[in-house]
Amino acid sequence: MTDDTRVLYNADCPVCSFEIDHYAKYSGDRALPIRFEDLNCIDMSDWGLSRDEAARRLYVLRNGELTSGVPAFIVLWQDMPRYRWLARIVSLPGIHWLASKAYDHVLAPLIYRWHLRRLAAATSTES
């Protein structure tokens, strides 16, 4: 385990916040050294990403290495004892390939489009 694991996520996204809030609670209850950072409330310069880039997928920074998507989930799960089995399974070549394709081409784009619709709706109600 590391003392330098940071998770960047979109707390305004109901799907993202539901999952990450669970991991944050689990980590907090066990005093795990994982920080969860809402892309809407932090200075993004540490991450080297725009808010729009960050809203497209999950990012994890551990020991100076930035990962995203399924590899980021694997890094996060490896730091949480209850989820290490999941990290091992999803790391298997065939499963990793399938999970990455599903996340990269279906889930992440779908959640991102939902994010853009929420932003557009919020902007139109402010006008």
The amino acid at 61? L
C-alpha span between 36 and 5 (Å, rounded): 9
Q: Report pLDDT digits (tens) over 37-67.
A: 999 999 999 899 999 999 999 999 999 999 9
The structural domains of the chain, with segments of one domain joined by +, span: 5-126
Side chain identity, residue 59: Y
pLDDT in tens, 1-14: 445 899 999 999 98
pLDDT tens-digit profile of 92-110? 999 999 999 999 999 999 9
pTM (two decimals)? 0.90
- Rounded Cα distance, 99 and 38, in Å: 24
Helical pair 14-29 and 108-126, crossing angle rounded to 10 deg: 110
On whether the CB atoms of residues 28 and 44 are closer than 8 A, the answer is: no
Calculate Rg over the CA atoms of the chain: 15
Q: Is the pLDDT of residue 124 over 70?
A: yes
Beta strand ranges found along the chain (DSSP E): 5-9, 34-38, 59-62, 65-68
